[in-house]
Structure 1
Amino acid sequence: MSRIQCPHCHRPQSHCLCPLIPSLDSRTRVLLLQHPSEVNHALNTARLAALGLNNAELIVGEVFEDLPRLLDQPGYQARLLFPGDEALPLQARAPSDEPILLVVPDGTWRKARKLLHLNPLLAALPRVTLAEGAVSRYRLRKAPGPGALSTVEAIVQALQVLEAPVSFELLLRPFEALIEGQIVAMGTETFRRNHAEK
């Protein structure tokens, strides 16, 4: 028998995160392109980001036929948040600057690269990247390298730069509650044995 799910956050009703999800305004528009394999992932942080930001949209797929329309947002400059040799570090935007349409692929690194490969229009966007050395709060898995963040963490960090001094930390509250809930479910001893810093 399956557990009843919250229709909003898609978590089991007993672990609903809705009271922790903020409703934040941003000048930056965030377009999340999620690989289908992430949709039912227990820690779907892209969904949390989309729910917490009023100016965000989450689209699930591999080939995005509607991409030209999604990227053509009058008054916005589209930028792909993805590392690469040609990626420029994000910088604060003055109120007079045109706002950014921040396009964020969501999936494992391999799946995110596949999204770029299958959508040449996406791969052709000017790339931006986060400052190096950010430490993930995602204590349930080892980061593949320094600066590897969950999707919601990357979005928060990007918005903190683009819209400084506005804070977007509230977006991380449901994420941290989700992590805590997973640790409680697995048991402190199991967490220490498998995930705590060595």
Structure 2
Amino acid sequence: MPRIQCSRCLRPQSHCLCPLIPRLDSRTRVLLLQHPSEVNHALNTARLAALGLSNAELIVGEVFEDLPALLNQPGYQARLLFPAEDALPLRACAASDEPILLVVPDGTWRKARKLLHLNPLLAALPRVTLAEGGVSRYRLRKAPVPGALSTIEAIVQALETLEAPTSFGQLLRPFEALIEGQIAAMGEDTYQKNHGG
């Protein structure tokens, strides 16, 4: 028998995260472009970020027909959160008078690169990066590179850089509960064997 799912957070009703999801305002607008393969992922952190931020939008797809309209938000300068040789550190944008439309591709690195390849307008955006040395709380997955963060962690760090001294740490509450739940489900011994140390 299929488990009943929460229509908002998409978690099984028995593990609904909605009570932990805050509703935070931000000057920065966050546009999450999610690869379809991430939608049913157990740790869909992009969805949690979109639910927790009042000035955020999540769109699922590979080719985004509405991209010109989505990127042309009056009063915002669009920036792509993605590494590149010429990417500006986000803190360089923090002093700007004009708020940022932070475009965040969500998927594995390979899928995120594919989104950029399939959407030349996206690839052409000026890029910004997070400060190095971020440590992920995502204890269930080996990071592909040092400092790799989950989507929600990257958004929290980006917003805290752009809107200091405002804290967006509350956004991580459902994410942390999700991880704790997964660790509990696998059992401490299995977790230590596969992810400990």
State the SS of the aligned residue for 1:46.
helix
Specify the alignment match of 1:112 in structure 2.
112
Q: Give 1:146 deviation, angstroms.
A: 1.1
Q: Which amino acid aligns with 1:196?
A: G
Alpha-carbon distance in structure 2 between the residues aligned to 1:146 and 1:88: 19
**Residue correspondence of structure 1 range 15-164 to structure 2 within 5 A:** 15-91=15-91, 93-94=94-95, 97-164=97-164
Q: Give 1:44 deviation, angstroms.
A: 0.2
Q: What's the TM-score, normalizing by structure 1?
A: 0.97
Alpha-carbon distance in structure 1 between the residues aligned to 2:147 and 2:193: 24
Q: Which amino acid aligns with 1:141?
A: R
State the SS of the aligned residue for 2:86.
coil
Alpha-carbon distance in structure 1 between the residues aligned to 2:90 and 2:130: 6
Instruction: Calculate the aligned-residue CA RMSD, in Å.
Output: 0.8
Q: Which amino acid aligns with 1:156?
A: V
Percent of aligned pairs sharing the same letter: 85
Q: Which runs of 4+ in 1 moved over 4 A?
A: none
Q: Give 1:147 deviation, angstroms.
A: 1.3
Q: Which amino acid aligns with 2:58?
A: L
**Residue correspondence of structure 1 range 181-192 to structure 2 within 5 A:** 181-192=181-192
Alpha-carbon distance in structure 2 between the residues aligned to 1:143 and 1:29: 27
Structure 1 residue runs of 5 or longer lacking an equivalent are none
Q: Give 1:170 deviation, angstroms.
A: 0.2
Q: Give 1:93 deviation, angstroms.
A: 2.5
Q: What's the TM-score, normalizing by structure 2?
A: 0.98
Specify the alignment match of 1:172 in structure 2.
172
Q: Which amino acid aligns with 1:77?
A: Q
Alpha-carbon distance in structure 2 between the residues aligned to 1:180 and 1:129: 28
Alpha-carbon distance in structure 1 between the residues aligned to 2:120 and 2:86: 16
Q: Which amino acid aligns with 2:6?
A: C
State the SS of the aligned residue for 1:80.
strand
Q: Give 1:72 deviation, angstroms.
A: 0.6
Alpha-carbon distance in structure 2 between the residues aligned to 1:50 and 1:87: 24
Structure 2 residue runs of 5 or longer lacking an equivalent are none
Alpha-carbon distance in structure 2 between the residues aligned to 1:86 and 1:2: 48
State the SS of the aligned residue for 1:40.
coil
Alpha-carbon distance in structure 1 between the residues aligned to 2:27 and 2:196: 38
Q: Which amino acid aligns with 1:119?
A: N
